[in-house]
A and B are shown apart, each in its own frame.
Chain A
């Protein structure tokens, strides 16, 4: 009999621990998503962080660790942007729903591919299955600079309708290259 009471308490403890974990994540997400620091502020922080801990090693994250981590990530990002031709100029997200197995976020993304610029908004649902995480896009909205072009607007509406974000990016690369080529050709003949 006592065992079952203990079990009840243990279940409560487990559910409280999960709740705490979720709340902590919600807080972190919200802090992250509502904050913005400019590049200058970042540079200043790196400098002041290094000065603060001159010769001192405090905790697990030394300034050189964080700086190295940031540099490695920025190198990867800049490589990807150069390689794919897709330059993201801004990105913001907002966590709309978060439970143990489900996270829903709204994303706003802008950038350009060669000379074509775009602005996107979409909702991303991520669900934790047994072995993997599934991701589904919905409410996709695309604004393209050359939106007056009827081919482009047809492509954009069809992409939006089916939430075809992946296809959008894959097509964008090839279209942008072709567009750039055409633009250069016209300029050449002017």
Chain B
């Protein structure tokens, strides 16, 4: 039986409950204190880390600034200021050769020798923009075979291999590269059209995986009225990124003058890349206004 607080009357059960409550409160306070201490420790650690990193950053910045000043003071290519270690020289050479190998990527054909053959990488580009690259892992013994590749299934790899792989690997890669680059170019044009001229396209641009068949509708304006042209582009030559066949049709209520426009557009699509053709429409319209 516990003592009772002055002026307060508790039943024995109430005292225990009160003590439990006080104990719980003390526990809570202790936990909170621990928690606060932990938070403060964490904060102190973080602050210290920030200071450490700031110092590191400032040192590096000073190093880079000094390097820039040194380089501006000398003409052309300078050798390292301090005597470099043999290891540093070798590491420089390794990076230099790696950079040269990366440049080959820009030429369209790059690769590396493997234990059992060669792994080629064919890069594709449209003008100055490099697009996807494709891998061909070739085995060279007992005869040249394709071990693995990342060429899409709609590119006639089997046909091209059958014709050239055994007799002329260079020709094989060159023809395959023609196909891949033309496909990449067609896809790029369609993507550019959708990205930059979506306001002129009505509905969706339909295309097949090989991107050699495109069908879409686009707006044209004539005498301040807008009409819809439907165009079907067929790229009959798989090594070419310009269409071989262009069919433009308009709605039956279209005026006769539109037929001339359709013929002009049809001619343009045959000669000029799709997105460039649309670019010329926009600027032509601007000029007319």
**Considering the chains assembled together, what is the distance between the CA atoms of A92 and B103 in angstroms?**
11
Q: Which of A7-53 contact B (CB under 8 A)?
A: 9-10, 12-13, 16-17, 19-20, 23-24, 26-27, 30-32, 34-37, 41-42, 44-46, 48-49, 52
CB distance from A38 to the nearest CB of B (A): 10
A12 to B47 CA separation, bound complex (whole angstroms): 10
Q: Is the CB of A162 within 8 A of B87?
A: no
Q: Is A102 among interface residues, defined by CB-CB distance under 8 A?
A: no
Q: Does A142 contact B (CB under 8 A)?
A: no
Residue of B nearest to A47 (CB): B86
Kindly identify which residue among B42, B89, B96 contacts A45, using a CB–CB cutoff of 8 Å: B89
Contact of A166 among B50, B99, B103, B108 (CB under 8 A): B108
Contacts A30-B68, A32-B95 given; indicate if A80 touches B106 (C-beta within 8 A).
no
Within 8 A of A (CB), among B68-102: 68, 71, 77-80, 84, 86-87, 89-101
Question: Chain A contacts of B109 at CB under 8 A?
Answer: 80, 83-84
Partner of B57, one of A19, A46, A80, A169: A19
B97 touches A20 (CB 8 A): no
With known contacts A61-B87, A76-B113, A13–B49 Cβ distance under 8 A? yes
Q: Tell me whether chain A's interface is mostly helix, strand or loop, or mixed.
A: helix
Q: Are B87 and A9 in contact (CB under 8 A)?
A: no
Residue in B79, B93, B98, B177 whose beta carbon sits within 8 Å of that of A170 in the complex: B177
Closest residue to A50 on the B side, CB-wise?
Answer: B86
- Contact of B101 with A36 in the complex, beta carbons under 8 Å: no
Of all chain B residues, which has the CB nearest A9? B46
Contacting pair B128 A138 (CB below 8 A) = yes
On whether the beta carbons of A76 and B101 are closer than 8 Å, the reply is yes
Interface bracket on B: 35 or more
Give B190 Cβ to nearest chain A Cβ, in Å.
Answer: 18
Asked whether any CB of chain B lies closer than 8 Å to the CB of A56, the reply is no
Q: Is the CB of A30 within 8 A of B111?
A: no
Taking the nearest CB of chain B, how far is it from the CB of A80, in angstroms? 5
A50 to B95, CA, bound (A): 20
CA A20 – CA B54 in complex, angstroms? 9
Residues in A with CB closer than 8 Å to B47 are 9
Q: Are A37 and B89 in contact (CB under 8 A)?
A: yes
Q: Nearest 6 pairs between A and B by C-beta?
A: A163-B128, A49-B86, A169-B107, A137-B128, A45-B89, A9-B46
Interface residue ranges, A against B (CB under 8 Å): 2, 5-6, 9-10, 12-13, 16-17, 19-20, 23-24, 26-27, 30-32, 34-37, 41-42, 44-46, 48-49, 52, 61, 63, 66-67, 69-70, 73-77, 79-80, 83-84, 86, 88, 91-93, 107, 109, 124, 134-138, 140, 162-167, 169-170, 173-174
Known A27-B67, A63-B87; 13 more pairs at CB < 8 Å: A6-B43, A16-B53, A20-B56, A36-B77, A37-B93, A46-B86, A73-B94, A77-B101, A91-B100, A135-B130, A162-B127, A165-B125, A169-B106
User: Can you name 21 A-B residue pairings with CB atoms under 8 Å?
Assistant: A9-B46, A12-B50, A20-B53, A30-B64, A32-B95, A32-B96, A34-B71, A34-B78, A35-B80, A36-B77, A45-B89, A45-B93, A74-B97, A77-B97, A80-B111, A84-B104, A88-B100, A164-B125, A166-B108, A166-B181, A170-B177
Name B residues whose Cβ lies closer than 8 Å to a Cβ of A. Answer: 39, 42-43, 46-47, 49-50, 53-54, 56-57, 60-61, 63-64, 67-68, 71, 77-80, 84, 86-87, 89-101, 103-104, 106-113, 118, 123-125, 127-130, 170, 174, 177, 181
